[in-house]
Amino acid sequence: MSTGPELAIIIPTYNEAANIPILIARLESTLRGINWEVLVVDDDSPDGTAAIVRSLGQQDARVRVVQRIGRRGLSSACIEGMLATTAPYVAVMDADLQHDETLLPQMLAQLRGSKLDVVVGSRYVAGGGVADWEARRAQMSRLATRISQWLIHADLRDPMSGFFMLRAEVLQHCVHRLSGVGFKILLDLFASHPRPLRFVELPYQFRPRQAGHSKLDYAVLWDYLVMLLQKLVGSWIPARFIGFSLIGGSGVGVHLLVLWGLHRALGMSFIIGHSIATLVAMTTNFWLNNLLTYRDQRLSGRAWWRGWLSFVAACSIGAIANVGVARYLFQADSLWMLSALAGIVVGAVWNYAVTAVYTWNKADHV
């Protein structure tokens, strides 16, 4: 009777058609003697990555694909992949050939023979390295690492690593606390688990990307900031709402700047200037939310304009609710500041809830 796999390798992908056959061939060579499977979680890559994996799976039943439609994100892809296997040991690695697959047997041996929870492929312990990274990227990585260490309270040298292996029960004990936001699932696991995780770091040399383009951009840094804030304030606040609120706060500055320019600098009437500033701030907020908060459901083309109209309409009603609640509480002898804050909270929750449903509707991205 056949048995299930001992080790599952989870590979999140987006436009990795050129790299994935090479990586799977390397895994087959490296993992001889181990009962393994690979799950490629593909975010509906336009380059046909999922189709290539299906073709490979026809030749090797250990190769599987999960093709996600209408959603994006490395961390959430890793979570779905890890939940889709019965293997007691689960590894996560990228498809771009930058992670050293020859380290996987050693990672598995470490977990088999100890009470460790996680084995991390580390660039920042003796013997590890980051190849030919430019100075700016290396500095950003090390700064993010120092911030991460403060959050998780663990002496983990490379909490930003995307290459690690863990026992499956580690995920099961904290999966409902994970934010699933951004690109740094390892940090999320350490910050979400109810107890300190037992770990060891093994050095490896981070290799140059072989084909395709890096997914590292400012949106990745935004996701990282939002995830850190969510872990600080508690998982009961949705990560998207945190990002939505941060952008909403920036809209206040945009509003005041535009109003000052129109009213004070150009002499426009206050009412007209205030109205234009309100529309500009709403438009800026919509653009930033579409770019960052909802980048996995990003609107384009005609859908962008329909989304903008629904966003402006929702936020206009939210502004009315904001003023109404604040006025009611103030007339009830509440402190003016508390009344104002209550109005802001009600308006923000309304804007977030309504635009999530009517603006970034997954069915309307054309």
pLDDT at position 322 is: 56
| Mean pLDDT within 133-162 | 66
109 with 244, same domain: the answer is: no
Which helix (H) or strand (E) segment holds residue 39: the answer is: strand 36-42
Does some domain include residue 229? no
Q: Backbone phi, then psi, for 333, in 5-degree steps?
A: 70, 25
Does some domain include residue 189? yes
Beta-carbon contacts of 154 under 8 Å, excluding residues fewer than 6 positions away, are: 190, 196, 197, 199
pLDDT at position 366 is: 42
- Total domains in the fold of the chain: 2
Does some domain include residue 227? no
Task: Say how far apart CA 80 and CA 95 lie, in whole Å.
Answer: 16
Structural domain harbouring 210: 7-216
244 with 212, same domain: the answer is: no
Does some domain include residue 221? no
Do 19 and 95 contact (CB within 8 A), yes or no? yes
Question: 22-30 long-range CB contacts below 8 Å, 24 or more apart?
Answer: 22/97, 22/210, 23/95, 23/97, 23/101, 24/53, 24/56, 24/60, 24/63, 26/97, 26/101, 27/101, 27/104, 28/60, 30/101, 30/102, 30/104, 30/105
Beta-carbon contacts of 61 under 8 Å, excluding residues fewer than 6 positions away, are: none
248 with 196, same domain: the answer is: no
Task: Say how far apart CA 100 and CA 202 lie, in whole Å.
Answer: 11
198 with 105, same domain: the answer is: yes
122 with 199, same domain: the answer is: yes
At 260, is the pLDDT very low, low, confident or very high (cuts 50, 70, 90)? Answer: confident
Task: Say how far apart CA 351 and CA 334 lie, in whole Å.
Answer: 24
pLDDT at position 30 is: 95
Helix, strand and coil in the chain, % to nearest 5 = 55, 10, 35
More confident residue, 281 or 145: 281
Does some domain include residue 225? no
Task: Say how far apart CA 232 and CA 229 lie, in whole Å.
Answer: 5
Task: Say how far apart CA 206 and CA 186 lie, in whole Å.
Answer: 17
164 with 295, same domain: the answer is: no
Which helix (H) or strand (E) segment holds residue 26: the answer is: helix 20-30
Does some domain include residue 234? no
pLDDT at position 360 is: 85
149 with 182, same domain: the answer is: yes
Q: How far is CA 29 from CA 57, 105, 301, in A?
A: 16, 11, 45
pLDDT at position 35 is: 96
pTM: 0.73
Q: Which of 185, 216, 247 is the last residue of a domain?
A: 216
244 with 180, same domain: the answer is: no
Residue with tokens 């990274």: 133
How many CB atoms sit inside 10 A of residue 113's CB? 8
335 burial level (CB within 10 Å; 0-12, 13-18, 19+): exposed
Does some domain include residue 365? no
295 with 260, same domain: the answer is: yes
Q: Quick check: 214 pLDDT over 60?
A: no
More confident residue, 244 or 142: 244
pLDDT at position 365 is: 47
Which helix (H) or strand (E) segment holds residue 239: the answer is: helix 239-259
Does some domain include residue 35? yes
321 with 184, same domain: the answer is: no
255 with 170, same domain: the answer is: no
Nearest CA-CA partner of 289 in 347, 255, 249, 256: 249
Task: Say how far apart CA 148 and CA 166 lie, in whole Å.
Answer: 19
Nearest CA-CA partner of 130 in 157, 169, 90: 157
At 216, is the pLDDT very low, low, confident or very high (cuts 50, 70, 90)? Answer: low
Nearest CA-CA partner of 173 in 195, 158, 155: 195
253 with 184, same domain: the answer is: no
Taking phi first (over 0 means left), then psi (-120 to 50 degrees means alpha), and beta for anything else, what does residue 50 get?
alpha
pLDDT at position 132 is: 62
Angle at 303 between CA 302 and CA 306, to 5 degrees: 90
107 burial level (CB within 10 Å; 0-12, 13-18, 19+): buried
* CATH assignment of the domain containing 153: 3.90.550.10
Nearest CA-CA partner of 89 in 187, 160, 169, 145: 169
